[in-house]
């Protein structure tokens, strides 16, 4: 195997991992911090992609549309928290079913307003040459974006006063409230951040995907797997689960084809869950 081939396989491995991170981080954050299983996460990705696409068609540069998508979907997330989730905390089934309803509603709404097909956007970057191979420069951006998303989320929730407040408000609402934290507002912002990450992810995925109302469903299954395998800690869990699943998927795909790659991904997920019912995070906790 030549050096360039190794590089290209390594890149494609990292790319697979970063795709999972980009698609799953918002879901993991909402789940790990707030115990909200957001069934509408895929649709938040989809809306992020639509915001980006619409703005590109309106003449904005792609890179500008990415933060706008994050902001727009983040605001929507805050509204969802305020109008729906707030009434349902503590009842997991209720949040799941309500967000599921929201998911169907959003798919319907997007199809109603945008139709079944929407003009996609082109990949904004060219290619990078590695020996005999070429690789899309955008793939490298995606890898970078995944790293930035994780680091930024870490800094926000572990290195800022807001982060400490937010974690407290989600985990121990009564105590946080007694200490003068505005729990309702803090949770609204936290879910907004989770939604913004989904919007960001959707916008980043738009140039490499066909975008339609069911866009989110292509990612939701794998995103769920990542979160479940990762367990309760949003950052550590998502990163390690994405590394494991993405690595297994890309590795097996390269060796034995994509179908077996998918099978391997599912198999590994099931095994992890059997032996670590609280996900990889449980492993980290146990070894500490």
Residue list 189-208, contact with other proteins (CB under 8 A): 205, 207-208
Of these, 25, 30, 47, 98, which contacts other proteins (CB under 8 A)?
A: 98
Q: Does 10 bind other proteins (CB under 8 A)?
A: no
* Smallest separation (angstroms) from other proteins to the CB of 239: 18
- Quick count: other Cβ atoms within 10 Å of Cβ 269? 21
Stretch that binds other proteins, among 131-139, 154-162, 178-186, 192-200 (CB under 8 A): 131-139
Strand partners, 135: 128
- Restricted to residues 219-238, the positions that interact with other proteins (CB under 8 A) are 219-221, 224-225, 227-228
d(CA 219, CA 259): 16
Choice between 5 and 158, CB closer to other proteins: 5
Q: Does 84 bind other proteins (CB under 8 A)?
A: yes
Q: Does 48 bind other proteins (CB under 8 A)?
A: no
Decide if 53 contacts 119 (C-beta within 8 A). Answer: yes
Of these, 6, 127, 144, 184, which contacts other proteins (CB under 8 A)?
A: 127
Helix axes 137-158, 234-256, angle to 10 degrees: 160
Strand partners, 65: none
| Token digits of residue 2 | 């030549």
Name, in order, each residue with C-beta under 8 angstroms of 279's C-beta and a sequence gap of 6 or more: 228, 229, 230, 231, 232, 237, 241, 272, 273
Of these, 145, 149, 188, 250, which contacts other proteins (CB under 8 A)?
A: 250
In the DSSP assignment, the letter for residue 107 is H
d(CA 64, CA 287): 43
Of these, 48, 77, 201, 212, which contacts other proteins (CB under 8 A)?
A: 212
Of these, 68, 71, 79, 97, which contacts other proteins (CB under 8 A)?
A: 97
Decide if 31 contacts 225 (C-beta within 8 A). Answer: no
Decide if 70 contacts 78 (C-beta within 8 A). Answer: no
Choice between 67 and 131, CB closer to other proteins: 131
Of these, 44, 121, 143, 181, which contacts other proteins (CB under 8 A)?
A: 121
Choice between 181 and 188, CB closer to other proteins: 188
d(CA 199, CA 51): 9
Q: Does 165 bind other proteins (CB under 8 A)?
A: no
d(CA 269, CA 286): 19
* Smallest separation (angstroms) from other proteins to the CB of 284: 13
| Token digits of residue 131 | 């020996």
Contact mark string toward other proteins, 13..32, x via CB under 8 A? --xx--x-----------x-
Of these, 209, 247, 283, 284, which contacts other proteins (CB under 8 A)?
A: 209
Choice between 138 and 157, CB closer to other proteins: 138
* Smallest separation (angstroms) from other proteins to the CB of 89: 13
Q: Estimate to the nearest angstrom the gap between the alpha carbon of 211 and the chain centroid.
A: 16
* Smallest separation (angstroms) from other proteins to the CB of 155: 26
């Amino acid at each position: 195997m030549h050096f360039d081939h190794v590089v290209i396989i390594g890149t494609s491995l990292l790319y697979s991992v970063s795709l999972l991170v980009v698609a799953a981080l918002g879901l993991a954050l909402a789940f790990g911090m707030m115990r909200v299983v957001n069934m509408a996460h895929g649709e938040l990705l989809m809306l992020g992609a639509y915001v980006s696409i619409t703005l590109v068609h309106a003449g904005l540069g792609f890179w500008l549309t990415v933060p706008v998508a994050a902001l727009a979907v983040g605001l929507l997330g805050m509204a969802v928290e305020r109008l729906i989730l707030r009434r349902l905390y503590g009842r997991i089934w209720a949040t799941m079913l309500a967000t599921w309803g929201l998911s169907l509603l959003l798919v319907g709404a997007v199809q109603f307003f945008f139709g079944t097909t929407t003009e996609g956007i082109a990949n904004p970057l060219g290619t990078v040459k590695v020996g005999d191979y070429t690789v899309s420069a955008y793939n490298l951006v995606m890898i970078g974006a995944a790293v930035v998303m994780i680091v930024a989320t870490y800094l926000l929730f572990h290195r800022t006063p807001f982060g400490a407040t937010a974690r407290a408000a989600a985990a121990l609402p009564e105590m946080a409230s007694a200490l003068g934290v505005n729990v309702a507002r803090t949770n609204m912002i936290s879910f907004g951040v989770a939604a913004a990450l989904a919007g960001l992810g959707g916008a980043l995925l738009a140039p490499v995907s066909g975008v339609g109302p069911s866009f989110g469903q292509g990612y939701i299954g794998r995103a769920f797997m990542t979160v479940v395998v990762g367990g309760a800690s949003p950052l550590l869990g998502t990163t390690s689960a994405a590394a494991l699943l993405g690595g297994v998927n890309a590795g097996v795909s390269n060796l034995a084809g994509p179908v077996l790659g998918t099978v391997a991904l599912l198999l590994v997920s099931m095994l992890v869950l059997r032996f670590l019912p609280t996900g990889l995070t449980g492993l980290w906790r146990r070894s500490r």
